[in-house]
């Protein structure tokens, strides 16, 4: 009789263990991005209009039915107004209302500048883009908090000129906030950057964050896929602040 009860008890424990969800293993990279969408409220950005100021340049984003337009307005040292516009049809620049002819290299350079600012402004919004390739790298602990660590790369076909760049995103395993990110780029001399989210605030239901932007003290000895360890060991130095001002979301 005792033997039979022991077998029943062991079987019950096994069933409970099988039924208990293992969140870390059960969630795919796509699941984590979707949960971060919910937490940040960036679902509402898929359609609509957003604007902000970044480093004295005014950005306006509009998206409607798959049609997008990113616009940057600034002034040069001579006081001329520069209007850059990137949309489904390509890139154009105006100076004081005059359309300026540009060669392909200049177009690509300016378009990448505009696109880069828009990409980082409302993360994780564009992490569902068709060009994005997601890979879950397990978990990592930063300052006592456990994070899902996700690698993001891009397809050559749709990823633009910087498709070789690789990103790491660290999502809080509890609320799925995006608290840290890093990227390795190959344009110019190449390099590594690590960003820490600061100043989180909600604007019209959407989480907006600024970032501290770090670089390695010694690039040659830095292993990108372990970048968070260098941050914890104070082997990164603060390079700049990424701050969005006058943010409007409609």
The dihedrals phi and psi of 44, each to the nearest 5 degrees, come to: -75, -5
**166-201 tens-digit pLDDT:** 999 999 999 999 999 999 999 888 999 999 999 999
Q: Which domain holds residue 241?
A: 28-249
Give domain status of residue 96, yes or no: yes
Number of domain units in the chain: 1
Dihedral sign for Cα atoms in the order 216, 222, 223, 227 = negative
Q: Identify any residues that bridge with 86 across adjacent strands, giving them in sequence order.
A: 70, 91
CATH code, domain with 197: 2.50.20
**66-78 tens-digit pLDDT:** 999 999 999 999 9
> Can you tell me the mean pLDDT for 113-117?
95
**34-64 tens-digit pLDDT:** 999 999 999 999 999 999 999 999 999 999 9
Give domain status of residue 10, yes or no: no
Give domain status of residue 214, yes or no: yes
From the number of C-beta atoms within 10 Å of its C-beta (0-12, 13-18, 19+), residue 111 rates as buried
**Nearest CA among 170, 179, 120, 124 for reference residue 149:** 170
Give domain status of residue 218, yes or no: yes
């Amino acid at each position: 009789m005792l033997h039979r009860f022991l077998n029943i008890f062991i079987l019950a424990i096994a069933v409970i263990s099988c039924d208990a969800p293992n969140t870390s293993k059960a969630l795919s990279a796509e699941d984590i991005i979707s949960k971060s969408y919910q937490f940040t409220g960036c679902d509402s950005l898929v359609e609509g209009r957003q604007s902000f100021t970044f480093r004295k340049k005014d950005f306006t984003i509009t998206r409607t039915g798959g049609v997008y337009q990113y616009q940057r307005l600034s002034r040069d040292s001579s006081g001329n107004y520069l209007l850059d516009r990137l949309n489904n049809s390509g890139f154009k620049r105006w100076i004081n209302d005059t359309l300026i002819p540009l060669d392909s290299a200049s177009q690509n350079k300016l378009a990448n500048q505009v696109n880069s600012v828009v990409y980082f402004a409302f993360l994780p919004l564009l992490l569902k883009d068709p060009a994005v390739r997601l890979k879950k790298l397990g978990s990592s602990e930063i300052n006592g908090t456990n994070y899902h660590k996700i690698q993001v790369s891009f397809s050559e076909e749709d990823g633009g000129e910087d498709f070789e760049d690789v990103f790491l995103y660290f999502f809080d395993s509890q609320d799925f906030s995006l608290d840290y990110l890093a990227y390795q780029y190959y344009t110019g001399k190449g390099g590594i950057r690590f960003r820490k989210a600061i100043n989180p605030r909600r604007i019209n239901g959407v989480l907006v964050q600024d970032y501290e932007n770090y670089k390695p003290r010694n690039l040659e000895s830095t292993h990108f896929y372990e970048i968070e360890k260098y941050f914890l060991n104070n082997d990164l130095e603060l390079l700049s602040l990424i701050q969005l001002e006058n943010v409007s979301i409609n």
